[in-house]
Structure formats: C-alpha cells, structure tokens
Structure 1
C-alpha cells in the first residue's frame, strides 16, 4: 500500500529546511539540492511542491508573515491600544533566534521584490495589513488618552513600521545574536507618543 503524503506538512518541512540553510549560508547557499538534502528528500522531490527556488522563497515569505501574524494574534488577544501595539511590535522585532532567522528569509525576498512586480505586490499587501493594524492600535490608544502626540497616526504608523523593518535588516546583517537594546528603542518610541 503506498504511503500517504501530507502535502502541506511536506511544504512546511521544505520551508523549515530553507530557513536553516539561509540562516547558515545565505540565499546563495540555498540551492534546491541543498534544501532537499537538508529536508532529507531526494532532489527531484521538491519539484512537485516548488518548481523553482523563487516559488519556494515566495512561499517562505508568506509562511513567515503568517507565523508572525499568528503570534501577534495570540499575544494581542484581549488587548487594545498601547498594550496591543507594544505586543505587536515585540513579535515583529528580531528579539530571538527564530525571529532573526525569519528576518534572514524576508530580506532575500525583498531583494527579489525590487525587480519582480508580483513579489513587490505581495510585500505591499503584507505591509498595508500591518500599517492598518498599527493605525488601529494607535487610534485606540489616542481614544483612551495614552497617545497625545501632535503627529498624525498615519505618520506615526509609518515611522514605527520603518523602525521595525530596519531592526530586521540590522539583525540579519548582525552577528546573529539578539540586540537587547531593541526593546529599549521600542519603549523610547512609545514614550514619545
């Protein structure tokens, strides 16, 4: 009797293998052959799931974004305003090895998105979603009196998102250890509100 394969599970195994390789060797080291070996599969086993390295990278970006959003949903449940905004930011900031590795996946995706309109659109949709969430938390915090800054919430949301994305870049280019100063920077930004 043939073995039943869970295709979703197989895709996630391949994405996890991709993360490990990119974290160790960078995007160039993440060849389809290396990914297959890392996941314990034959090289040809990737083709039905990801015909090209680009499709794998696109899926990996979506997976990182979805995982981050799930963590955000978990930590913001029952919160609003400034506590929800703080929790949101802490899940995006590269504060541990897992989130640093996620940044190492996202940055090669951004590099590809510079010249690929489809990937650029995926990124733009993702960031639009995050900006809307940040603006919602800022509006809640403003309504409760926790935010009194004279700067418009849309500008504040853009500044905060740029800070979060910049932290991802710095972490991916750093030595791989979390920067404890990121939480202080976040608290400093929130205090200015």
Structure 2
C-alpha cells in the first residue's frame, strides 16, 4: 500500500526549516539546496510543495506574521482606544528575543519583496490591515477622551509604523545603537504626546 503523504504537514516542515535557516544566516542561507537538505528532501523534491523559493519565503513570512498577530491579539484582547493602542504597539515592537527573531524573517522578506511584485503585494496588504487597526484604536481613544493631541490621525499612524519598522530594522543591524530600553523610551514618549493637547 502506498504511503499517504500529508502535503500540508510537509509544507509546514519546509517553512519551519526555512525560518530556521533565515534566523541563523539570513536570506542567503536559505538556498533551495540548503532548504531541501535540512528538510530531508532530494534537491528537486521541494517543487512538489512550492513552485519556487519566493513561495517558500512568502509562506515563511506568513507563518512569522501569524505568530506575531497571535501575540498581538493575545495582548490586545478586548482593549480599546489608548489602552488597545498601547498593547498593540508594545506587542509589535521587537522588545524580546522572540520578536527580534521574527524581525529577522521580516527583514529577509522585505529584501525579497523589493524586486518581487507578488511578495510586495502580500506585505502591502498586511500593512494596510495593520494601519486600519491602529487608526481604529486612535479613533476610539479620541472618542474616549484619552487621546487629545492635535496631531492628525494619519500622521500618528505613520509615526507608529515608522517606530515599528525602524525598531525592527535597528534591532538587527545596530542593536547597540537601538537597545530595547531605547525603543521602550521612544514608545513611552510617543504615548505621552498623545495625552497632551
């Protein structure tokens, strides 16, 4: 009787292997040959599960994103307004080893997405969803009277995105210049501004 292969499980295994390779050595370490070797496949066997490397990278990114989203959802829970915004931002910032590891995968994805429209669309879609969530929290914070700054909502959303992108990037390329404590101070300063007219 032929062995039944669970394709979804194999795809998850390939993504986990790829994630591990990226975490250890960046995108350059995640060659098709190395992924196949680490996953225990013959060199051409990955084609049965993914058309090419971009799709593996996309799957790896989406898995990392799912882990991050789960963390954010847990932290935000049923909070709203300023409290929800704080919880969201703290959970999304690379303030612990797990988040810094996720940033390494994110950075590799960004590098690949620069020259690949399909991957760029995946990131853009995620970013638009994220921005909508941030805007909702800001709107609720204004309704509740907790956010009183005159800075326009769109600018606040932009600032949060820049704080997060910058924090993720700096946590990897210049951790001595952008320590976790410094990132926490930047976030705290941002939130204090929200409560001042």
Q: Which residue of 2 aligns with 1:187?
A: 188
Q: Which residue of 2 aligns with 1:95?
A: 95
Instruction: Encode CA deviations 1:89-129: one digit per residue, 9 max, x unaligned.
Output: 12221122222222111122222222222222211111110
Q: How far is 1:148 from its partner?
A: 0.6
User: Is 1:72 paired with 2:72?
Assistant: yes
C-alpha change, 1:13 and 1:178, in structure 2 (3 Å) is: farther
Classify the secondary structure of the residue corresponding to 1:50: coil
* Structure 1 residue ranges without an equivalent (≥5): none
- Give the structure-1-normalised TM-score: 0.90
* Structure 2 residue ranges without an equivalent (≥5): none
Q: How does 1:1-193 map to 2 (within 5 A)?
A: 1-174=1-174, 179-193=180-194
C-alpha change, 1:147 and 1:7, in structure 2 (3 Å) is: same
C-alpha change, 1:73 and 1:20, in structure 2 (3 Å) is: same
Quick one: distance in 2 between partners of 1:41 and 1:87? Answer: 42
Quick one: distance in 2 between partners of 1:41 and 1:174? Answer: 36
Quick one: distance in 2 between partners of 1:183 and 1:44? Answer: 46
Q: How far is 1:190 from its partner?
A: 0.8
- Give the structure-2-normalised TM-score: 0.88
Between stretches 35-44 and 176-185, larger displacement belongs to 176-185
Aligned residues: 193
C-alpha change, 1:115 and 1:6, in structure 2 (3 Å) is: same
Quick one: distance in 2 between partners of 1:60 and 1:50? Answer: 12
Instruction: Encode CA deviations 1:14-35: one digit per residue, 9 max, x unaligned.
Output: 2221121112112111111212
C-alpha change, 1:96 and 1:37, in structure 2 (3 Å) is: farther
